[in-house]
Amino acid sequence: MLLPPEIAAEMDAEFDALAPDIDEGLGVLQVWEDPPSIQLRRRDTNGNFANAGTPFTPVKIRLADRLEQTSGANTGMVTVINGGELWLRPARDVRRDDRFALNGVTCEVTRVDPTTRIKQVVQFRRLGG
């Protein structure tokens, strides 16, 4: 649904006024979560990986849960989704196929969601470990 321009402009102004509070809140979350610094690596024209940009600290790193089947034919089986997501603010130049190390394990960026007004979400999978 498209809003009339004057209402959309008013909402944009209200959101812009909240931006410092959002930054402060995400900053508190970042301190609480204490995620490690990330150095992205990207393929060059020869297919070799090299550092891409400067290291940064995400707001949060969320790893996928390990879920145990509690009923039915597969009771007791555990499914491991080998990945997670990074929350970034401000948005970064992150691309699909970029790599980074997390707890000594190489991770591959599988999807970069469109940046919202709140954060950028980057999906990844662990390539080992």
**Could you give the CA distance from residue 41 to residue 124 in angstroms, rounded to a whole number?**
13
**Percentage of the chain exceeding pLDDT 90:** 55
Q: What is the pLDDT of residue 112?
A: 97
The per-residue pLDDT for 13 is 85
Residue ranges covered by each domain of the chain: 5-126
- CATH number for 5-126 (one of 3.40.50, 2.40.10, 3.30.1450, 2.40.350): it is 2.40.10
Confidence band of 50 (pLDDT split at 50, 70, 90) = very high
pLDDT of residue 98: 97
Rounded CA gap, 58 and 123, in Å?
Answer: 13
Note the pLDDT tens digit of each residue in 79-91. Answer: 566 889 999 999 9
Could you tell me which residues come within 8 angstroms of residue 53 by beta carbon, excluding any fewer than 6 positions away? Answer: 40, 92, 93
Q: What is the pTM of this model?
A: 0.77
